[in-house]
Amino acid sequence: MLSKKMEKAFNDQIKWEYFSAYLYLSLSAYFTNTGLPGFANWMDVQFQEEQFHARRMFDYVNEKGGRVTLQAIDAPQNTWKSPLAAFEFALNHEYAVTKRINDLMTLAQKENDHASAIFLQWFVSEQVEEEASFGDTVNKLKLVGDGGGLFLLDRELATRVFVQPTVA
């Protein structure tokens, strides 16, 4: 059984994961509108990943006998100055997600909730990958600037596909 503190924290994180999905869908729309379908595809995949994260937490709360309470999701930002600004914004968002996951892990440890700590370890590792993925694209965008390299990077990002992670 989840403690009330853990249940509330997981419910808040479920909201945050769905907000993240909504944000990446907004970024996908932005990139579609600016004529960068590869960038839009990359964000569509990110949208799917965030939905997967939210659903994993949703299912976990239910499995532990907690109660999922869905909350209102705020409207995400929908315009950026440039593809670089959009990816920098998203990278900063991922830093905030990492902090939230770390805070959840700290709470699980304080609550002596070993099952939740083990469950959250996957998310801790996932955030390392998320930050690296966004950071890599930010670095590439800085290298290519606004020239022809942007077209090539768009083609590269178009190849990303969502593969549902296998979870132990």
What is the pLDDT at residue 50? 98
Per-residue model confidence as pLDDT tens digits over 26-56: 999 999 999 999 999 999 999 999 999 999 9
Residue 17 pLDDT > 80:
yes
Per-residue model confidence as pLDDT tens digits over 85-140: 999 999 999 999 999 999 999 999 999 999 999 999 999 999 999 999 999 999 99
What is the pLDDT at residue 168? 64
- Whether residue 26 contacts residue 76, with contact meaning beta carbons closer than 8 Å, is answered with yes
CATH of 4-24+52-70+79-146 given 3.40.50.720, 2.60.40.10, 1.20.1260.10, 3.40.1390.10: 1.20.1260.10
If DSSP codes are grouped into helix, strand and coil, which group holds residue 3? coil
User: The whole model's pTM is what?
Assistant: 0.92
- CA 41 to centroid of chain Cα atoms: 15
Q: Which two tokens stand for residue 117?
A: 């700590």
Locus of tokens 């979870």: 167
Burial letters 133-143, b for 16+ CB under 10 A, else e: bbeebbebbee
pLDDT bin (cut points 50, 70, 90) of residue 145 is confident
Residue 147 pLDDT > 80:
no
- Whether residue 20 contacts residue 93, with contact meaning beta carbons closer than 8 Å, is answered with yes
C-alpha distances out from residue 33 to 39, 81, 126, 164, 166, Å: 11, 13, 29, 27, 34
